[in-house]
A and B are shown apart, each in its own frame.
Chain A
Amino acid sequence: MSPPAVAVIGFAQAPCLPSAGTTSGVETLVPVFREALADAQLDRREVDFWCSGSSDYLAGRAFSFVNAVDAIGAFPPICESHVEMDAAWAFYEAYVKILAGEAETALVYGFGKSSAGQLRRVLALQLDPYVVAPLWPDSVSVAALQARAALDAGVVTEQAMAEVAARSRADAADNPYAQVRGPIDPDAPYLADPLRAHDCAPVSDGAAALVLASGDRARSSPRRAWITGVAHRIDPQGLGERDLTRVPSATEAATAAGLPDDLDVAELHAPFTHQELLLRAALGLGDRVRINPSGGALCGNPMFSAGLARIGAAAQQVMSGRARTAAGHATSGPALQQNLVCVLGSEAS
């Protein structure tokens, strides 16, 4: 196998907050760019390619991402692109751009003011517009249908879900960017049966930026986490078509990304406790894998940057030497419809 060609060399994020920043995201992004570039010891003029992820429906207006370009300082002009997805997929686009030899360095960013609208209602617009969305099934109810199916099938238990919440909140105690910390009440009332408040990610405003570089550039940077594989897949959306207790797209992405057996850490983008359990099974993660030392999306879920932040958190584990191999995972769409897996390692193989 050839040595990995691309590495993560810098990462920064804004604190996850219930309500913060402008709808445009510009003022939030400026310091995040500065920190990520400082982390990578790169000047913004040395960035060959910029790529972002965001959503017009989060802001409630068309072309909302256009304004965010102002935060870059994009004159003289830059090479730039945007996905209407979590920025983890912008990360993938940038990774491919470097692999193709079209860039040596890239800065990837995601942003969104989830609190601007009623998020769980806005997300109903991701559902089939003919037969599902007109009923306005909110994102928490949709996740609850999946959780119920998993409980009925015996692949998760309410106790295991509560343990995920408790562990995540305990880990978040050391994470200055987390929004939610501290103990849970296992008997808290249901938000959408069988999901209690602690089973659901909070609504978070935030942003994240990650810097990538190809081989030689990466080797000259102070710290790096080599990307040994990235892959993503999508399942059909139909909630009554697929087996909601399984996540084939995550399994296939992990296989294609070469998720190793000796993984040290996994940062999983699971906005609901039962989804972490489903993902652990889909990715084949055993008990020795440390899951979400950051506290994960359950303790801060800034839409459209939370997936990228999982990759960033995994990369930080490797760059800091706390882990030899780590995986970052991102999800998009209702009930874990689309999944991306990125495997990172300390060695250039």
Chain B
Amino acid sequence: MVAPPLSAPLDIAFDYTRSLGPVLGRFMTGLRAGRVLGSRTADGRVHVPPLEYDPVTHAPVTELVEVQSTGTVTSWTWTDRPLAGQPLDRPFGFALIRLDGADTALLHAVDAGARDRLYTGLRVRIRWAAERVGHIRDIACFEPIDGPAGALDFQKDEPVTIMTTPIRLSYTHTASADESRYLRALAEGRLLGQRCPVCRKVYVPPRVCPADGVPTEDEVPIRDHGTVTTFCVVNVPFAGQRLDPPYVVAQILLDGADIPIPHFVIGNADDVRMGMRVAAVWREPSSWTTTPENIAHFRPTGEPDAPYESFEEHL
């Protein structure tokens, strides 16, 4: 029985900063003030949300006009199980809503309470967010026009030029069967390579041979000693960094492999050189799992340097 390929979560998250430009900037500034602006194109139509460029003349749109905060549902759907990030966390309907005074429809959520209360032609009005910053979510949602309207709070003066949009996504990253075998060997403190049946080169980690497009097959044990082919000293801090600079990132050609791997060389940065012999420093065996992180870094062994000619073809 072959163990299934390994998989693990991969979450990505960033708060994107969107610069708005003249049209969207005025639109968002309006929302913060509790007003909805549409753009008027050359044919006289009023677009909400606003268009930045006239679809017929291609000219930049400059005229913005205020429309009502009430409107009519032109299409709708209903969701019983809202997804992360959506405007409401209870059952609601996404709808296209044409605001009074506009010629086009805006997509937003309608807090109708129940599916059978939402229909094409329903009259709705904006429910403003309690705190407004100049963002499409300053409109909390729409609601049917049958209850009292909420009050609007004060408005600020500075024009809105940037909006922030958090994007959070969760993925499952799946490794290949060959890579999984390699990772499981790592969990036992072993390095595993595989040989391409065509070019006979040994790949670590194992993979489809990128030169020949065929899976590598024969397993080849790889020693955790190797040669620095080339390297750089990282002196610069940057987003996502794990070590404090300065540190050395080297290409290390492991003994028995035909392709170098990148890794840290810890020692005196000034002493690291091309051809230097190094050995893996493993973390505590009790902490080993199916990850290359079991090797913390490499350290100089003190052996004589490998001659340039011995690794020249791996640069």
Taking the complex as formed, is B132 at the interface, i.e. its CB lies under 8 A from any CB of chain A?
no
A60-B171, A134-B137 given; A149·B74 CB < 8 A: yes
Listed stretches A66-74, A246-254, A291-299, A323-331; interface member: A66-74
Contact B214 A135 (CB under 8 A): no
Bound complex: CA of A50 vs CA of B296, how far in Å? 40
Contact A131 B136 (CB under 8 A): yes
Contact B210 A70 (CB under 8 A): yes
CB neighbours (8 Å) of B74 from chain A are: 149, 240
Taking the complex as formed, is B285 at the interface, i.e. its CB lies under 8 A from any CB of chain A?
no
Contact A27 B177 (CB under 8 A): yes
Listed stretches B93-101, B122-130, B227-235, B274-282; interface member: B93-101
Contact A148 B165 (CB under 8 A): no
User: Which residue of B47, B77, B136, B175 is within 8 Å of A148 (Cβ)?
Assistant: B77
* Closest chain B CB from A241 CB (angstroms): 5
Taking the complex as formed, is B86 at the interface, i.e. its CB lies under 8 A from any CB of chain A?
yes
Residue-wise interface mask of A (18-33) relative to B, using a CB-CB cutoff of 8 A (1 in contact, 0 not)? 0001111011001001
What is the total number of residues of chain B having a CB less than 8 Å from a CB of chain A?
Answer: 64
Contact B79 A141 (CB under 8 A): yes
Those of A111-156 within 8 Å (CB) of chain B: 113, 115-118, 120-122, 124-125, 128-138, 141-142, 144-149, 152
CB neighbours (8 Å) of B98 from chain A are: 240
What is the total number of residues of chain A having a CB less than 8 Å from a CB of chain B?
Answer: 61
Bound complex: CA of A128 vs CA of B35, how far in Å? 21
CB neighbours (8 Å) of B105 from chain A are: 239-241
Contact B171 A129 (CB under 8 A): no
Listed stretches A5-13, A95-103, A186-194, A308-316; interface member: A186-194
Listed stretches B107-115, B181-189, B238-246; interface member: B107-115
Residue-wise interface mask of B (76-88) relative to A, using a CB-CB cutoff of 8 A (1 in contact, 0 not)? 1111000111110
CB neighbours (8 Å) of A121 from chain B are: 83-85, 169
Contact A141 B169 (CB under 8 A): no
Nearest A residue (CB) for B212: A73
CB neighbours (8 Å) of A26 from chain B are: 176, 207-208
Nearest B residue (CB) for A150: B75
CB neighbours (8 Å) of A44 from chain B are: 213
Contact B107 A23 (CB under 8 A): no
A residues lining the B interface (CB < 8 Å):
21-24, 26-27, 30, 33, 44, 57, 59-61, 69-75, 113, 115-118, 120-122, 124-125, 128-138, 141-142, 144-149, 152, 190, 192-195, 236, 238-241, 244
Task: Please name 20 pairs of A and B residues whose Cβ atoms are closer than 8 Å in the assembled complex, sorted by A.
Answer: A57-B169, A60-B171, A70-B210, A71-B208, A72-B213, A115-B172, A118-B83, A128-B49, A130-B163, A131-B49, A135-B107, A136-B85, A138-B83, A142-B94, A145-B75, A146-B75, A194-B77, A240-B48, A240-B96, A244-B75
